[in-house]
Chains A and B, each alone.
Chain A
Amino acid sequence: MDGVMTQKKTNEKLGGKDLINIGIYAAIYCVIMTAVSMLGFIPIMMPMLSVLCPLIGGITMMLFYTKVKKFGMITIITIIIGAYLWITGMGYWPFVFGIVCGLAADFVAKSGNYLSKKKTVLSHAIMNVTIFGCFLPLYLDINGYFSSRTSFGSDYVEALTRIFRPWTAPVILACCFVFGVLGALLGMHFLKKHFEKAGIV
């Protein structure tokens, strides 16, 4: 049995090693995400989640992207992250977003054969739109929700809608995307600076 016996079966289904890798990186990502949201424990800081998560998570994700060779890995990790956000109480929207964004991100990365740098950056940015799902319930049906609490007075509802003005929604969405791009670039910088030298890529 001569020659190289590396994994060249790109079009096959996911193997045990791939699935374990997904789990490991998802765990690291979720711990980082939880730590970041602890930092912004003052709930008013919550929008910072859309800045810090993509940025710091980018370091983890870029390392994960180096392990991705098959279709499905990015989809699964995004769904898992969405599900994690869901069961830690962020509502089901991140989960829904996870499925959609994960698939989209996977297709983008696949179109570059999981090697193209530009496609990787774009793919990571799309993936991070998932985080916007956490904020969606704050905008969706905000009047409907608070109208049921008229006991608090109309001033309250008015003030709240003033904080969560509809125009902030696209801003947060854009934040997720832009910082997704920046996070990917930061992650790539770290890959070169540290992880390649440390031999874990």
Chain B
Amino acid sequence: MIEFENVSFNYMRTDEASVKNVSLKINNGETVLLCGESGCGKTTLIRMINGLIPHFYEGQMKGRVSVDGTDTTKAELYETAKVVGSVFQNPRSQFFCVDSTSELAFGPENMGLPEDKIRGRIDSTVNSMKIRDLMDRNIFEMSGGEKQKIACASVDTLNPQVCVLDEPSSNLSLEAIEDLKQTLLDWKEEGRTIVVAEHRLYWLKDICDRVVCLKNGETIFDISMKEFKTYTEEKLRAYGLRSVNENLSMIPIKTEHMSTETITFEKLFYNYRNCDALQIDRLEIPRNEIIAVVGPNGAGKSTLSKCICGLMRGFRGNAVIDGKKLKSRNLLKNSYMVMQDVNHQLFCETVMDEVILGMDEENEDRAFEVLEILGLKEYAGRHPMSLSGGQKQRVAVASALLSDKDIILFDEPTSGLDFYNMEKVAQLISSLRGQKTVFIVTHDPDLVRRCATVVLRLENGHVKNTNSDGEMKGYGTEKEKCYSAVV
């Protein structure tokens, strides 16, 4: 049983408390969904259950948190680890070993269990999760979904009574979410207590029994899933939540294309050492539209985006814009990628320096104009790294606009965002329509339906636009034809 008694916490170097006076009781075997907009305190609650607060993240804490009668604030982390297993948001930063078998053994090894017992546990986990084919492999070469499976499996080998998951689906494709769902259902069947903090709610509606919603660090409702499912869309929006019955179809907005101009990519071929990653002979894209690139992991989306940006070494294809033939080198000059981790592309000391860095002639007035449009004017003197995630993304977009790029490419711009922030990103991207050709590589159907005007579905390195995602997954009801890109 997990019990919070009048718990408050604020992180070091912040003034506002992230959790205020929360009391909550979770019974054994219960499956609880924690939801709410970004910064509502759900991650903080999760970190209290697994003891990372106050042992890892420092700050001021009041109240008592107990799991199965032991106080997690007093027990050492490795003691709590025997009872509570945790899965985190980012699949690429939560594994400790390089190969998957050692990773599964890592937890039990820390507990000092005897060797044969560890092997036994690994065996039973591998069997129950059906991951035999993932064993003895390099985790760095796995896809995000496979990595997340390994993360779940390595929790499973510790055999904890309580499992907590902190936004486990944010970096996963729709297919991988289905796998994760199955794992959780299995755990539930075994009678484990599960607490999930999530933004995407649709996949949890058959798993969780209870929904706790937070806002500004306080609980605003605590109801059963049955009741929660009856909430209308409007009511959910008021709490900043995404839909429970999410429409998973990736259908573009129905509009006329703004111009008849096109960009043609020729010879989009690329292959890695032993497999073809991309095989598109010719791809015609309407210019200045918003193109969503969707498809399962490993379909060649990131290869395609790297080729489009001219970042792929050894890529021999070209693009034709305005009748001019652009090779890799010139593509690099004409395109800009807003990366998933925006921190990679922020170099300077102030936002202003940052946006004029790539300009041919440094023109502060124009920079101010663009910053104003993007709502960043008052931050011009701030250090870009000190901004919030969304603002950083805007800074990156500003520098793309100011360096006169034709093509802007977004790599997973909405992973891990709540409804408000996702909508903001959608607005930002929509506002670029008509001036720039925008590509979005994404798994997020909400985003696609809000701003994309063309959907490009990739499978095994080929463009496949015959059916939309919605029909395939069966969640959506609409059956509309996509605006197919001319292949």
Q: Which residues of A are at the interface with B, using a C-beta cutoff of 8 A?
A: 1-7, 16-17, 193-194, 197-199
Contacts and interface: CB of A to CB of B under 8 A. Distances in A.
A6 B386 contact: no
Contact of B383 (A2, A3, A7, A194): A194
A194 B349 contact: yes
B62 interface: yes
Secondary structure type dominating chain B contacts: mixed
B9 to A, nearest CB: 10
A199 B385 contact: yes
A5 B73 contact: yes
Interface residues of B, number: 19
Nearest to B60: A4
A197 B64 contact: no
Contacts of A16: 77-78
Given A1-B64, A1-B74, A5-B61, A197 B386 contact: yes
A7 B73 contact: no
A17 B349 CA distance: 30
Contacts of B60: 3-4
14 contacts: A1-B63, A1-B64, A1-B71, A4-B60, A5-B61, A5-B73, A6-B12, A6-B54, A16-B78, A197-B386, A198-B383, A198-B385, A199-B385, A199-B386
Contacts of B77: 16
Contacts of A7: 58
B272 interface: no
Contacts of A3: 60
The 10 closest A-B pairs by CB, nearest first: A198-B385, A197-B383, A5-B54, A6-B58, A197-B386, A1-B73, A4-B60, A5-B61, A193-B349, A198-B386
A122 B51 CA distance: 38
Nearest to B382: A197
Interface in B51-89: 54, 56, 58, 60-64, 71, 73-74, 77-78
Contacts of B383: 194, 197-198
A198 B54 CA distance: 22
A193 B13 CA distance: 18
A70 to B, nearest CB: 15
Contact of A2 (B56, B62, B386): B62
Nearest to B348: A194
Nearest to A6: B58
A4 to B, nearest CB: 6
Interface in B381-397: 383, 385-386
A200 to B, nearest CB: 8
Given A1-B73, A6-B58, A199-B386, 11 more contacts: A1-B61, A1-B63, A1-B64, A5-B54, A5-B61, A6-B12, A6-B54, A16-B77, A194-B349, A197-B385, A198-B386
B96 to A, nearest CB: 9
Contacts of A17: 56
A58 to B, nearest CB: 19
Interface in B208-246: none
A17 B58 CA distance: 13
A158 B87 CA distance: 64
Contacts of B71: 1
Contacts of B62: 1-2
B396 to A, nearest CB: 16
Contacts of B64: 1
Contacts of B349: 193-194
Contacts of B58: 5-7
Contacts of A194: 349, 383, 385
B46 to A, nearest CB: 18
A74 B171 CA distance: 36
A198 B13 CA distance: 13
Contacts of A4: 60
Nearest to A200: B385
A7 B74 CA distance: 13
B183 to A, nearest CB: 27
Contacts of A199: 13, 385-386
Contacts of A6: 12, 54, 58
Nearest to A7: B58
Nearest to A2: B62
A99 B386 CA distance: 38
A5 B59 CA distance: 7
B58 to A, nearest CB: 5
Contacts of A2: 62
B318 to A, nearest CB: 32
A198 B349 CA distance: 10
B336 to A, nearest CB: 22
B78 to A, nearest CB: 8
A16 B13 CA distance: 23
A193 B54 CA distance: 29
Contacts of B385: 194, 197-199
A64 to B, nearest CB: 18
A99 to B, nearest CB: 27
Contacts of B56: 17
Interface centre among A2, A193, A197 (most CB of B within 10 A): A197
Contacts of B78: 16
B216 to A, nearest CB: 21
A7 B55 CA distance: 8
A83 to B, nearest CB: 18
A145 B152 CA distance: 57
Nearest to B12: A6
A61 to B, nearest CB: 20
A22 to B, nearest CB: 15
Nearest to A4: B60
Contacts of A1: 61-64, 71, 73-74
A3 B386 CA distance: 28
A163 B141 CA distance: 46
